[in-house]
Amino acid sequence: MKITKICCIGAGYVGGPTMAVIAQKCPHVQVTVVDLNEQRIKDWNDPNTDNIPIYEPGLSEIVAEARGRNLFFSTEVEKAIDEAQIIFISVNTPTKTYGKGKGMAADLKYIELCARQIAKVAKENKIVVEKSTLPVRTAEAIKSILDNTGNGVQFQILSNPEFLAEGTAVADLLNPDRILIGGDITPEGQDAINALVEVYANWVDKDKILTTNVWSSELSKLTANAFLAQRISSINAMSELCEKTGADVTEVAKAIGMDSRIGPKFLKASVGFGGSCFQKDILNLVYIAKSYGLNEVADYWEQVIIINDHQKRRFSSKIVQTLYNTVADKKIAFLGWAFKKDTNDTRESAAIYVADDLINEQAKISVYDPKVSRSKMLNDLDYLQTRSSEENSSSLAIFDNPYEACKGSHAIAILTEWDEFVAYDWQKIYDLMHKPAFLFDGRNILNSKELESIGFIYNGIGS
C-alpha cells in the first residue's frame, strides 16, 4: 500500500514535531495533525512560526517550510481520520490520579476516546499507530475497541514508540538511532509494518528500522526509559556519597564513563530528572510487574523513582540548612523552571518540587526561565494542591529578566541547564544580591572556582 495521507491525533510535544519532520521529509504525503484543543491548533497555525506552542530548536523553520504545503493543523478530527490511511495516536497518557492504579498506572481514557472515534468514523481499512508511551498490551485494548465497535472495516495496530528527547526533538527525528515498529505476525500485520517502514525509509536507512512483535515494541519503550533514568538515579545516589566523602561526582562520572562498557552519556548528576516520560514509564513498569505478582522486579525499578524524589528533596533541604536553617521571608531566585534546557515543557520538572518545599518553609521564590510562561509555572504549583492558588501566586514572583529575578535574593538556585546562564555577568549578579550570597547549582553548569573568587558561597551537586 502506498501511503499518501497520514493523520495524527494529538498536537503535543510528540505529535507536533514528529509530524512536522515526516511532512518535511515526505512532500508527497499529506500530513494532518488534529487536536481537541482549539487554542493549541490556533497556535500551530500562527502565521509567525516563532509563536507555535512548542519550543524546540529548528522546529519553527520546518513548520514554516511544510505548513500549508503538505502539513496541516486542524480541529476537524473526524474528517482527518476519515481521509487518512495511517492514523497516529499521540495523545497524552498521564499517570492515573484516581481509582485503581492511582499514582502508578497510565490513564488510558484519552487513548480509548481516540479508538472509539476512529471506530465510529472509519469506512475503509486503516492502520492505527500507537505513538504515545503506553503500557504493554494497550494495542490489544485498542484492537478490541476497534474490532467490536467499528463499521466492520479491518484495522491493523502498530506500535511505533517515540525515542525523541525534548530539546533535541528535531535532531533526534532527522537522525534517529533506530526506528522501532511492532506489528502482528500475520500477512496483514506485515503489510502494515511495511507501509510504515516505507514512510520512514524516505530519510532513515533501512538497517536502522527495526521490526518486532507488538509487545516487544511496547515493552522496549518502557525498558529504554527505565534504563536511562536508572543511570541518572545511580549517579545521583553516588553524588550524595561524594558530598560526604570529599569525592567529586563529576570526576567519578568522567572516570567511569571512559570505560567503554559504561560509556559517557547520561551520567550528569543533577537535582533530579523530570519530563513526561521517565517517572511515568517507570511507574508503569512497576505497576505491570506488580500486576503479574513480580514484587521483586517492581521494587527494583521503584527504587529509581525513590532516589529521584530523594534527590529533589535533598536539594531543597540543603538550601534551607545552608541558609542557617531558615528561609522564611528570604528571597530565593530560581534560574530555570523547564525540566531541561531547550524546551518550554515543565512536566515533572524538579523546579516545581523544590519550589513547593521552599514555599512550605515560607520562602519567597523569584523565577526566570527563558521559555516558560508565567501561567504554566503557577499551574504547575497549583497542580500539587499543597496550598491555594492565591498563596502560590503571592509566593512566586516571575521575571522576564534574570538580573531582576536575582536582585535582592539571599540565594540563587540553578534548576535548568540553559546555556545562557553560563554567559551571565556573575559579578553583576553578585553585586545585586544579599550577602553572604549563596549559589546552589542543581545542574553543575557553572564554574565553581570563578564564582568563589567573586565571593559566592557555591554548592554544586556531588562535590
By annotation, the residues acting in catalysis are: 162, 221, 277
Least distance in angstroms from the C-beta of 277 to ligand ADP: 8
300 binds, among ligand UDX, ligand ADP, none (CB under 5 to 8 A by kind): none
Q: What H or E segment, with its residue span, contains residue 281?
A: helix 278-291
35 binds, among ligand ADP, ligand UDX, none (CB under 5 to 8 A by kind): ligand ADP
**Residues of this chain, 60-79, that bind ligand ADP according to CB under 6 A:** 77
Q: Does 113 bind ligand ADP (CB under 6 A)?
A: yes
Query: Would you say 132 or 138 has its CB closer to ligand ADP?
Result: 132
Q: Does 165 bind ligand ADP (CB under 6 A)?
A: no
Which residue in the block uniquely carries the three cell numbers 500485520? 189
Least distance in angstroms from the C-beta of 173 to ligand UDX: 11
Cα 168 to the center of its chain, rounded Å: 11
* Nearby residues of 195 by Cβ (< 8 Å), 6 or more positions away: 1, 3, 85, 86, 127
9 binds, among ligand ADP, ligand UDX, none (CB under 5 to 8 A by kind): ligand ADP
Q: Does 10 bind ligand ADP (CB under 6 A)?
A: yes
Query: Would you say 132 or 250 has its CB closer to ligand ADP?
Result: 132
Q: Which of 44, 72, 110, 353 binds ligand ADP (CB under 6 A)?
A: 110
Least distance in angstroms from the C-beta of 89 to ligand ADP: 9
Least distance in angstroms from the C-beta of 344 to ligand ADP: 11
Which residues lie across from 128 on neighbouring strands? 87, 157
Q: Which of 7, 15, 96, 274 binds ligand ADP (CB under 6 A)?
A: 15
Do β-strands 396-399 and 438-441 pair in parallel, antiparallel, or remain unpaired?
Answer: unpaired
Query: Would you say 23 or 252 has its CB closer to ligand ADP?
Result: 23
Q: Does 342 bind ligand ADP (CB under 6 A)?
A: no
Q: Does 9 bind ligand ADP (CB under 6 A)?
A: yes
Handedness of CA 213, 215, 218, 223 (dihedral sign): negative
Stretch that binds ligand ADP, among 5-13, 99-107, 236-244, 440-448 (CB under 6 A): 5-13
Q: Does 12 bind ligand ADP (CB under 6 A)?
A: yes
Q: Does 90 bind ligand ADP (CB under 6 A)?
A: yes
Query: Would you say 49 or 234 has its CB closer to ligand ADP?
Result: 49
Read off φ and ψ for residue 13, nearest 5 degrees.
Answer: -65, -25
**Residues of this chain, 237-296, that bind ligand ADP according to CB under 6 A:** 276
Report the C-alpha gap between 181 and 196 in whole angstroms. 8
Query: Would you say 220 or 409 has its CB closer to ligand UDX?
Result: 220
189 binds, among ligand UDX, ligand ADP, none (CB under 5 to 8 A by kind): none
Report the C-alpha gap between 35 and 317 in whole angstroms. 41
Q: Which letter, b or e, does each residue of 259-275 get, where b requires 16 or more Cβ atoms within 10 Å of its Cβ?
A: eeeeeeebbbbbbbbbb
CB atoms under 10 Å from CB of 125, counted, come to 13
Cβ atoms of 226 and 281 closer than 8 Å: yes
Least distance in angstroms from the C-beta of 372 to ligand ADP: 14
* Nearby residues of 120 by Cβ (< 8 Å), 6 or more positions away: 78, 149, 150
Q: What is the DSSP letter of 286?
A: H
Cβ atoms of 287 and 105 closer than 8 Å: yes
Give the interface with ligand UDX as residue ranges (CB under 6 A): 162-166, 225, 228, 232, 266-268, 270, 273-275, 277-278, 339-340
Query: Would you say 195 or 235 has its CB closer to ligand UDX?
Result: 235
398: nearest Cα among 374, 422, 414, 424: 374
CA separation, residue 381 to residues 170, 274, 365, 377, 397 (Å): 29, 15, 12, 7, 13
* Nearby residues of 418 by Cβ (< 8 Å), 6 or more positions away: 335, 336, 338, 341, 342, 369, 370
Least distance in angstroms from the C-beta of 31 to ligand ADP: 15
Q: In what order do the strands lie in the sheet with 331-335?
A: 396-399, 364-368, 331-335, 411-414, 438-441, 457-459
String marking each residue 127-146 x if it binds ligand ADP according to CB under 6 A: -----x--------------
Query: Would you say 162 or 248 has its CB closer to ligand UDX?
Result: 162
Q: Does 218 bind ligand ADP (CB under 6 A)?
A: no
Query: Would you say 104 or 433 has its CB closer to ligand UDX?
Result: 104
Which residue in the block uniquely carries the three cell numbers 525534548? 166
Which residue in the block uniquely carries the three cell numbers 521503584? 302
308 binds, among ligand ADP, ligand UDX, none (CB under 5 to 8 A by kind): none
Which residues make up the interface to ligand ADP (CB under 6 A)? 9-15, 34-37, 40, 77, 90-92, 110, 113-114, 132, 276
